[in-house]
Structure 1
């Protein structure tokens, strides 16, 4: 019996390694493909800080960072995963929130009080092409000037890998891990197209947040587990709970 990981590459490989270390068999079905977006040359801009809500936002801009003054700015990251990507890319002052956009917003607001940044300076928001939350608008309501730059897009895959379809048909998958609303929606489209929707939704769906869980629950999944916090360790704990029940 295997656990299906729907996370995009290359993060799916790290997740698979962690699961295998726990004794799980793993199948991979990365349903979204990362593509960088051309980054404009705005070296003359004077930003007060950088904001990222995904490690992919850092990956998208990384080829342009050598010698960039952006590396000297405070970078506010949504969680430790994106914070680690920023540090690897060369950012020197990385401040991490606890895993979701609301906490990131509050962290930026706290940064003003802590004198880590000033409202008068524009903040550079490195973002994906598809945003599930208007973080720039929320910060704008608090008086910040947010400059949003799209650094990547996630392209939906049209189908599941053949081995995953076969595994669903043979009832060899015991749970599915979901990391985002969009990938959960693509998962549902893929299992319907492959004719394995009933098998796919009959097993535990382990979701990194309640908003992700709502996607699979609305589709008819009956065994939906939600991570206690929006991070992978909590998601693994949800997986353990699902398989013990």
Structure 2
């Protein structure tokens, strides 16, 4: 029996390694494909900090970071994984939020209150093409000026790898891991396209957040579990709980 990981490349490989270390067999079905967007910074104002809600934003502009002078700025990362990618890219001052956009907003606001960041600072938000919330607008309401630059897009992949379809057909997949609303929707679309929707939704769906879980519940999944906190370790704990329940 295998765990299906829907996370996009390249992060899915690290997830797979962690699952295998826990004794699980793994199937990979990256349902979104990372596509960088050409980055042209025409702003003439100086930035006070960079904010990112995904490691992919950093990967997308990595070749330009030094030339743009961004590595010298503090970077606010949505969570520890994104923070690690930022450090690897050359950022030295990285402030880590609690794993979601709301905690990132609060971290920026608190940094201004603590005088670590000027309230009137202009922030560069390196964002994806599809935003789940208006983080720039929320920070604007707190007195910040936010320049939002689309750095990447995630394009849905409409079919599963053959071994995944075979796994569903043979009832060889025991749970699915979901990391975002967009990837959950792409998973559902691919399952419908492949004609395996009933099998795909009949097993535990382990979700990083309640927002992700809502997509699966609306589609009719009956075994939807949500991580206690929006991080991968908590998601793995949710997976183990789901598997224990199935065996009970």
Say yes or no: TM over 0.5: yes
Match of 1:115 in 2: 115
SS for the counterpart of 1:115 is: coil
CA distance in 2, matches of 1:236, 1:31: 20
Structure 1 unmatched runs, 5+: none
- Aligned residue for 2:117, secondary structure, equals coil
Separation of aligned partners in 1, 2:176 and 2:125: 31
Matches within 5 A, 1:60-79: 60-79=60-79
| CA contact 1:175–1:206 (8 Å) conserved in 2 | yes
- How far did 1:42 drift? 4.3
Q: Provide the secondary structure at the position in 1 that maps to 2:131.
A: coil
Residue 235 of structure 2 corresponds to residue 235 of structure 1: yes
For 2:42 and 2:91, locate their aligned partners in 1 and report how far apart those are by CA, in whole Å: 17
Structure 2: distance between partners of 1:212 and 1:243: 20
Contact 1:34–1:56 under 8 Å retained in 2: yes
Superposed displacement of residue 121, structure 1:
2.2
After TM superposition, the structure 1 = structure 2 runs for residues 179-198 of structure 1, keeping only pairs within 5 Å, are 179-198=179-198
Instruction: Deviation per CA, 1:154-213: give whole Å up to 9, x if none.
Output: 011011111101110110000000000000001011111111111111100000000100
C-alpha displacement at 1:127, in angstroms?
A: 0.3
1:22 aligns with 2:22: yes
Q: TM-score with structure 1 length normalisation? A: 0.98
**1:225 Cα deviation (Å)?**
0.8
Distance 2:220 2:11 in 1: 28
Rounded Cα–Cα distance in structure 2 between residues aligned with 1:120 and 1:144: 5
Aligned to 1:83: 83
Deviation at 1:111, TM superposition (A): 0.8
Question: Contact between 1:74 and 1:116, CA under 8 Å: does it hold in 2?
Answer: no
1:150 equivalent in structure 2: 150
Shift of 1:66: 2.7
CA shift at 1:70, angstroms?
1.1
5 Å-filtered alignment, 1:1-245, equals: 1-42=1-42, 44-245=44-245
Aligned counterparts of 2:73 and 2:41: Cα–Cα separation in 1:
17
Cα separation, 2, equivalents of 1:105 and 1:61? 22
Decide which moves more: 101-110 or 61-70: 61-70
Structure 2 residue runs of 5 or longer lacking an equivalent are none
Find the aligned partners of 2:149 and 2:68 in 1 and give their Cα distance.
16
CA RMSD in angstroms comes to: 1.0
